Structure 1
Amino acid sequence: MTLFDQKAESYDDFCRTPLGHFVDAVERRLIGAMARPRSGESAIDLGCGTGSYTYWLHKLGLSVTGVDLSEKMLEVARRKGDGRVPFMRADVTHLPFPPDSFDLALANATLEFVADPKAALREAYRVVKPGGRVVVGFIAKLGPWAEQYSKRGREDATSVYHGARFFSYEEAVEIGPCIPEQVRFGLYVSPREFTDEASAWSLEMRRRVSQDEAGAGFMVVRWRKGTLPV
């Protein structure tokens, strides 16, 4: 049983809090801007967990498959829907799909928990079509959120963050299958600074002016199949 199996039933609780709702909204907007999902496209959600982004893509009109290694997380994901969205237990480093299967491969806060993130990105790149997008959301290594999660992982061996690895942009480039097409940063509000969502959004937008990695808690990197290799 994985740590994620043990946390599956309570995994979505954070997103139901004001802070969690804000974090989810910031991340989803950034991922949406980078993924540019279009109705009629095919997509794979890698490390889909309880299916939050899988169902989001489905509601946008995409044909999407959710993939995760934790069967308990997948059970929670399946309960949220009516059976029309397929979920599959699989290792993201060995995907059971032929090459050129999807228009979009999405992974949000997934590679932090994968033993071989380079292999996972190589597989994501393999299964997207020529010109397809591989879009990955990372908990930014240099930001306050990674600091908090690292501390939690060190202090609690049952935390899903125990043993998690966080990435800087340079490290994301190193594990990527080709030269990234674009990167965006966000979540400049630290957990300690949050008071309410309206104030947090105001602070977030003021700090986003520089659009760099310093202080960002989250980053999204997009690779496109057919781009020159690293």
Structure 2
Amino acid sequence: MGYIFDFHDAKRYHQWMLKRRNRFAADLESRLMLGMLDPVAGESVLDIGCGTGASIAPLMEKGLDVTGIDPSPYMLDILSTTVGNRVSLYRGFAEDLPFDDNSFNHACLFTCLEFVDNPKKALAEAFRVAKDRVFIGFLNRYALTGIGRRVQGIFTPTIYNRANFFSVWEIKSMVRELMGPVPVCWRTVCQFPGPWGAWMKQIEGSGLVQRFPFGTFAGMVVTLVPRFRTRPLAIRYQPKKVGRIAAGAAGCSGMAPSNGFDDSPQ
């Protein structure tokens, strides 16, 4: 089940997202998600751990049919005041999604794995309900900012005390274990602490820079390849009955056929 944001957590997170500096980082993360997921308007997407809507807003702007799910009723209350009836919202857990197999074109886990008890189970559920691609956005274990947050948590209680940080290789290993050799692509953003400006956005948007594994936010897209289970079927076969073979004919072949068929030349 993992950690569920309470009323104060939800309120602080929403206020944190309203700050200009944090909005800049959130915009870089959203651009990374949309660029890697590459959805088409009208497709369906499930936002797992949607929170107060940091990842839902850009998905809606892209013209997607968005569904959100989160275990915190307080997060969902804040989100519902901004999106109204334009998004279907559910309360539930990433490890046990209340949807059928292949219900959505895509699925997103946007800083969700950090707060679940069983990340591998959450990934397996995302792969189950999606049929095209899954985007995994997570806080990078090896980013300088991530290290600073963990050190800060030693002295001051923060929400990051509840979070598990991952590396690109850890997430990729889980994906391979669950799905085998499916196509996987990763990128990172928020490589630098600032100052934030238009020139910084250009640097952060560079494909070369995004290949550095030390950005604060890492994104990974998994392209799902259909797998079919097969089992061998026994084919009933009744050999045709043939007449007795003349002894002379059998002798011409050098040996007597033992399978009931006449193997001699016609």
C-alpha displacement at 1:163, in angstroms?
2.8
Q: How does 1:42-61 map to 2 (within 5 A)?
A: 42-61=44-63
SS in 2 for 1:13: helix
Aligned twin of 1:72? 74
- Structure 1 residue 4: deviation in Å? 4.4
* Conserved 8 A contact 1:139-1:219: yes
Question: Structure 2 CA distance, aligned partners of 1:140 and 1:227?
Answer: 29
Aligned amino acid, residue 31 of structure 2: R
Alignment match, 2:117: 115
Contact 2:138 2:219 in 1 (8 A): yes
Alpha-carbon distance in 1 for matches of 2:90, 2:31: 26
Q: Which is worse superposed, 170-179 or 147-156?
A: 147-156
Q: Is the 8 A contact 1:138 1:218 kept in 2?
A: yes
Instruction: Please give the TM-score of this superposition, normalised by the length of structure 1.
Output: 0.87
Worse-matched range after superposition: 53-62 or 134-143: 53-62
Work out the CA distance in 1 between the residues paired with 2:196 and 2:129: 41
Residue 146 of structure 2: aligned partner: 146
CA distance in 2, matches of 1:102, 1:183: 22
Equivalent in the alignment of 2:220: 221
Partners of 1:199 and 1:4 in 2: CA distance: 38
Partner Cα distance (1:203, 1:104) in 2: 28
2-structure distance, mates of 1:4, 1:155:
22
Structure 1 gaps, min length 5: none
Aligned length: 221
Structure ranking higher on relative contact order (CA contacts 8 Å, 6+ apart): 1
**1:101 and 1:214 mapped to 2: Cα distance?**
32
Residue 38 of structure 1 and its aligned partner are, at CA, apart by 1.4
Percent identity of the aligned residues? 30
Measured on the aligned residues, the alpha-carbon RMSD in Å equals 2.1
Q: How far did residue 205 of structure 1 move? A: 5.4
Question: What letter corresponds to residue 216 of structure 2 in structure 1?
Answer: G
Shift of the 39–174 alpha-carbon distance from structure 1 to 2, 3 Å rule, reads: same
Which residue of structure 1 aligns with residue 166 of structure 2?
167
Contact 1:180/1:221, CA 8 A, preserved across alignment = no
* Equivalent residue in structure 1 for 2:88, among 83, 86, 95: 86
